[in-house]
Chain A
Amino acid sequence: MIWFILIVKVLIVFQIALGLASVCVWVERKGSALIQDRIGANRAGAFFYTDNIFLKPVFIVVRLLGVLGVINTLLCDAVKALFKEDFVPKGTSNFIHSLAPFMGVFPVFLAFSLIPFAPDFVIAGITIRPQVASLNAGVLFIFAMASMAVYGATIAGWCGNNKFSLLGGLRSAAQMISYELALGISLVAMVVLYGTLDLYDMVVAQTKLVGGFLPAWGVFTQPVAFIIFFVAGMAETKRAPFDLPESESELVAGYFTEYSGMKFLLFWLGEFAEIALLAALMVLMFFGGWDIPYVTLPATWVGALIGHLVFMGKITFFCVLQIVIRWTLPRFRYDQLMHLGWKILLPLSMANLIVTAVLKLAF
């Protein structure tokens, strides 16, 4: 029974991660079109027609999806990538070349196993926690997985066997190491505040009220940590304004220059899974997870479902927010990037940690 529940949980969480990543892909394609005053993908599947009366409703749905660009961005692009030639540059190892995309994607999906997706609920007398693994190292494990994700980009850059790729890989390694520090220390401040490493307990700690009216969400109690976490997290996902590792104007495409077909798509998938992971972490630590202020959810499956929907809604909001930022802001210069990471975010996060610890001791 335990194994059955575990397998179901793994499947569900994997589906949630994949689903969020593909929704992000669609929002990125259509949203960028909206922001740039284009129409975007709207043709593939839009003209499907049948005379068969029973198939008509299906085809109406297909046409709708086609006009919205879902078929184009999710189905057609995946099929195209699958049938593309898989090119491996000369003078590099085929094995390592194939390994790199997996090293970029695998830790991100592994980190999802620590995310609780709904409140506890009781079904058939068994209390189920919708979280694959509840380690007592909790949020540190996610941090460890984030630090493993550096390898994907770095090794990919090395496998390109040219200077542009190598520069992209080195840039990504340097950037991720630099911003990991600020990210980790802002996280430590949250750990000090909540007194726990477990993400589930963090959400429970946020369901209270501060001063009788303000929900005790992390963003209200720790606004500085939230800003640092958001900025450093955006830098970890390597997207604009932090997309120095793949800056098209200087490095062709950076670390994945020599990648084509499905391997390239895997890098993309990893990137969007990282966006979803970052959104999930922000919601869990700073926006109360599945908490609705002033409302207590019942501990049944109905309550869990409502909580889950609220949680997913918040995650979607932060995914869209990150994509809007990516299409709004221009890229940093490299020295500005290092300046921001080491001279602004790191001291700020340390000061925040000290202030938090002192206040925690005082009250």
Chain B
Amino acid sequence: MTELLWYITAALAIGSGLGVVMLRMPLYSALSLVLHLFTMAAMFAFLDAHFLATTQIIVYAGAIMVLVIFVIMLLSLEGTEKRPSIFLIGIAGAAAFGLLYMMAPAIRRTFPMTGGSLQGDVGTIGKSLYTDYIFSFEIASLLIMVAIVGAVVLAKRIKKNAT
């Protein structure tokens, strides 16, 4: 049963991933990216990493993608992108397929499909974040802080010029 659900989720993930690059309306691409992130969260859930699954939804599907859709709607982007020639698409597709084909055995060996082999509960993740990876964690939060301050400064400067 779980395996069947896993295959359905995997098919959805691949389909929505293709949708992101192949759909022509920007909003549809964004929506299929939301679906893709959702299926990724479902995959985490299959690995019993509930916390990772939830944070995946909160951070990516719930916050970042809302902002992306917000921007698409505000700028009211239309599907104006021209498709590249069939020849280029063929070459890129073949290259990607070849690469994946070579990687497939390694992926199958290293990544478990289902089951609780990844320790993904809140306690474990919290402990390793605040003990083993405390330095990278703090550096990341510092980077985000700098980015926020930078964004505020940029937004303010634009306002001054306009008035």
Contacts and interface: CB of A to CB of B under 8 A. Distances in A.
A131 to B, nearest CB: 14
Interface in B57-96: 57-58, 61-63, 66-67, 69-70, 73-74
Interface centre among A137, A169, A170 (most CB of B within 10 A): A137
A162 to B, nearest CB: 12
B6 interface: no
A151 B58 contact: no
Interface residues of A, number: 26
Given A155-B31, A173-B66, A177-B66, A140 B54 contact: yes
A221 interface: no
B128 to A, nearest CB: 16
Contact of B122 (A93, A137, A150, A155): A137
A197 B73 CA distance: 35
Interface string A97-141: 000000000000000000000000000000000000001110011
B63 A177 contact: yes
Contact of A173 (B50, B53, B70): B70
A144 B58 contact: yes
A141 B73 contact: no
A363 B134 CA distance: 26
Given A136-B122, A144-B62, A197-B122, A154 B55 contact: no
A154 B73 contact: yes
Interface in B92-147: 121-122
Chain A binding site: helix, strand, loop or mixed by DSSP?
helix
B42 interface: no
A347 to B, nearest CB: 16
A147 B57 contact: yes
A178 to B, nearest CB: 12
B156 to A, nearest CB: 16
B20 interface: no
A143 to B, nearest CB: 6
Given A140-B58, A144-B54, A158-B27, A150 B73 contact: no
A166 interface: yes
Contacts of B67: 177
B47 interface: no
A233 to B, nearest CB: 16
Given A136-B122, A148-B61, A170 B55 contact: no
Contacts of B31: 96, 155
B13 interface: no
B34 interface: yes
A340 to B, nearest CB: 20
Contacts of A170: 70, 73-74
B37 to A, nearest CB: 10
A166 B73 contact: yes
A147 B69 CA distance: 14
Interface string A66-96: 0000000000000000000000000001001
A158 B63 CA distance: 18
Contacts of B61: 144, 147-148
Contacts of B121: 136
B85 to A, nearest CB: 27
Interface string A171-196: 00110010010000000000000000
Given A147-B58, A170-B73, A140 B51 contact: yes
Contacts of A150: 62, 66
A157 B63 CA distance: 18
Given A136-B121, A137-B122, A144-B62, A151 B34 contact: yes
A281 B40 CA distance: 27
19 contacts: A136-B121, A136-B122, A137-B50, A137-B53, A140-B51, A140-B58, A141-B54, A144-B57, A147-B66, A150-B62, A150-B66, A151-B66, A154-B69, A154-B73, A155-B69, A170-B70, A170-B74, A173-B70, A177-B67
Given A143-B54, A158-B27, A173-B66, 4 more contacts: A96-B31, A136-B50, A147-B62, A148-B61
- In the A-B complex, list the 5 residue pairs whose CB atoms are closest, starting with the nearest: A147-B62, A144-B57, A137-B54, A137-B50, A135-B50
